[in-house]
Chain A
Amino acid sequence: MATTALAQTDRHKAARRRKWREALTAYGFLAPYLFIFLTFTVFAIGYAFYLSFTRYNLLKPPEFWGLEGYRRVLCLEALLPRAADAGPLVCDDLFIRKALPNTILYTVIVVPAQTILSLILAFAMDQNLRFRRLFRTIFYLPSVTSSVVISIIFIWLFSPQGVVNQIFGLNINWLNDKNYAFYTIMLLNVFTTSGTMMLILLAGLQDIPVAIYEAAAMDGANKLQSLWHITIPMLRPVIFFVVTVGVIGCFQVFDQIYVMTAGGPLDSTTTVAYLIYKWAFRDTAVKMGQASALAFVLALIIMAVTMIQRKFIEGSGSVSS
């Protein structure tokens, strides 16, 4: 009796040791990730949150000033009570006046355009046509080119003496005219993203089982009906994914703005992501606290939009992911 009990505790001990060893090994495998994650994600988010309540210009240590940064970004006097000695409301209305409306306009135009275009391309690629591989390769070209290179090429194509004006016989200063600059950048975005989105949608189309179409045809459904009642509902999760990626991309658009217009002319192309960078790194007196506050506002907007989208797309159909 005594010996078996002893052996049992020994076995328990050995098992526990093995468990510990395994946990230790696992943390060894995860060590590089955990180091980067703790430093550049966990700590970074926490510190950015702290900074968003401070005034910080890199020269002096961050100076706590409560919600003043958020108040300046959002331009809301009524938002929260202010101290009596806080003085008149200082407001940096570039976000409310320019960056937010611009970003919304950008998203509202670019996302439907890129989604519809890539849907049409995906449908075309899903037919039994010749040269499909060639087309697929060509369509993906704009997506592999770097955003800076493609921006530089577009600056030159759309310059006053550029190829676009020459071919179409126009005389438009695309990027220096506040009526055209933003739309030129939108065009660039649709151009570069449609290839990737087409591939995702195409994979979704090819994932729909042929049997469903056959069954529908047996029941007398015509092609248009099966497109409307089978293809679109079955594709809904993929479309949701593409739209979400598109919206997030639009809300964070930066490279093209920085390279092509630097937010100008007359702030007509200043977006939220660009404004954050401008406040944090580009202005003569950097405003890192205020930029952090805006970054959190942006994060909240993106999360809210994604959640509304999910509700909207999943709630409106019979088939959901």
Chain B
Amino acid sequence: MKASPTYRAVTFSDRLILLLEKAKNPIFYVVLFIWALVCIAPLYFTLVFSLKPVANIYDEPLFFPNPFSLENYRDVIGALPLFPRWLLNSMLISFAVTCLRVLFCAMGGYAFARMEFPFKNFLFNAMLVSMMIPGQVTLIPSFLVVGPGIIRGGLKIGELTLPTGFGLLDNPLGVILPGVVSAFGIFMMTQFYKSIPKELEEAAMMDGLGRFGTFFKVVLPISATQLITLALLTFQGEWNNFLWPLTVLRTPENFTLPIGLNWFRGEYYTLISKVLAGSLFNTLPILIMFFIFQRYFTQSIAATGLKEG
């Protein structure tokens, strides 16, 4: 016996749903398109105006560079010697921090994931708690430790005077030092090493490679994907970092690009098109990196977001 389908009157809500179903995709397309325009517009206008001569900055037209000129870019690279300097400083600091942080975080993560040692759980939990402390709390002591020292003139013990700070104010090393390792990076690498099987490492240790040999010859190569992700996140963060370099660096020659751009904008506020050209210089490396490694960026953000959620 076949059950006859039950019919019911088409209600208002059914019609509404049908209508929504039909209108849904066009509405979503419009939403996506409008937001895409909003996202592109600031960078597009920056590009247009950086290609206009300073003298014509407020002249029509708005939407394309007319008259067209590369004057700003030439000045940024050539005539204003500080810009290449800042670019170099930014490169140096970001590169150093990235290399060291990736290495140290991999080492730390490996220790937490694979080795047994006293106070392991305590240290791991302390690390997790430390990630919740806002940076404003540690900013002042970090500044004192990196720069002038906790005690002016050093700690005097009898004849001995011990410095209480690194004396790295206005020095790129002072920017690098606190960033060489991060709790987040160690946490990320710990989770990763816990998720992969350890047979390969055990085989390597059987073959007589010690812990260090195993780590550098076997573990590091198999975690390449994860390391690249951490490296990208670190480089981007360090390249765009503002508060800490602002606190440590003092003379224009030592500035990084973001600090330099902001300083330049304050000093020469009429030369806005040169500032815009310089701004694109700051953005370009990250954009290129983003396009090449897009997969890593999006994966890492989705993964970290879900894990902590």
Instruction: Enumerate chain A interface residues (CB-CB to B < 8 A).
Output: 19, 22-23, 25-27, 29-30, 32-34, 36-37, 39-41, 43-45, 47-48, 51, 58, 61, 117, 120-121, 123-125, 127, 129, 131, 135-142, 144-150, 152-157, 161, 163, 166-167, 191, 194-196, 199-200, 202-204, 207, 222-224, 237-238, 240-242, 248, 251-252, 254-255, 258-259, 273, 276-277, 280-281, 288, 291-292, 295-296, 298-299, 302-303, 306, 321
Query: Which residues on B sit within 8 Å (CB–CB) of A241?
Result: 305-306, 308-309
With A127-B24, A138-B36, A157-B42 given, name 6 new contacts (CB 8 A).
A30-B107, A30-B112, A146-B286, A166-B62, A191-B39, A204-B309
| Interface pair A45/B39, CB less than 8 Å apart | no
The answer on a CB contact under 8 Å between B301 and A200 is: yes
**Chain A residue with minimal CB distance to B104?**
A32
14 interchain pairs, CB-CB under 8 A = A22-B115, A26-B116, A36-B177, A41-B133, A47-B144, A48-B137, A51-B141, A129-B29, A140-B297, A144-B290, A147-B240, A200-B309, A207-B306, A292-B140
**Is A149 a contact of B279 with CB atoms below 8 Å?**
yes
B7 within 8 A of A: no
Contact, CB under 8 Å: A299 / B137:
yes
Instruction: Give the total of B residues in contact with A, Cβ under 8 Å.
Output: 99
Question: Which one of B42, B120, B126, B152 has the greatest number of beta carbons of chain A within 10 Å?
Answer: B42
Kindly state the separation between the CA atoms of A281 and B116 in the bound complex, as whole angstroms.
Answer: 44
**Pair A152/B261 contact, Cβ less than 8 Å:** yes
**Nearest-CB residue, chain B, relative to A286:** B140
Task: Indicate whether B118 reaches chain A with its CB closer than 8 angstroms.
Answer: yes
A141 in contact with B40 (CB, 8 Å): yes
- The answer to whether B258 and A30 touch across the interface, beta carbons within 8 angstroms, is no
Contact A27 B140 (CB under 8 A): no
Partner of B17 from A194, A223, A303 at Cβ < 8 Å: A223
Q: Which residues of B contact A43 (CB under 8 A)?
A: 141, 145
CB distance from B100 to the nearest CB of A (A): 8
Segment of B68-76, B179-187, B194-202, B220-228 in the binding face: B179-187
The CA of A200 and the CA of B307, in the complex, are separated in Å by 11
B45 to chain A, nearest CB (A): 5
A33 touches B108 (CB 8 A): yes
Closest Cβ of chain A to B79, distance in Å, is 20
Q: Are A163 and B62 in contact (CB under 8 A)?
A: yes
B290 — which chain A residues lie within 8 A by C-beta? 140, 144
Is residue B110 within 8 Å, beta carbon to beta carbon, of the partner chain?
A: yes
**Nearest Cβ in chain A — how far from B209, in angstroms?**
13
- Residue B275 lies at the interface, judged by CB distance under 8 Å to chain A: yes
CA distance A276 to B177 in the complex (A): 23
**Residues of chain A with a CB closer than 8 A to B12's CB:** none
Q: Knowing A44-B138, A135-B32, A302-B134 are in contact, say whether A152-B265 is a contact too (CB < 8 A).
A: yes
Q: Are A254 and B243 in contact, CB atoms less than 8 angstroms apart?
A: yes
Task: Tell me the complex Cα distance, A112–B41, Å.
Answer: 24
Q: Are B130 and A41 in contact (CB under 8 A)?
A: yes
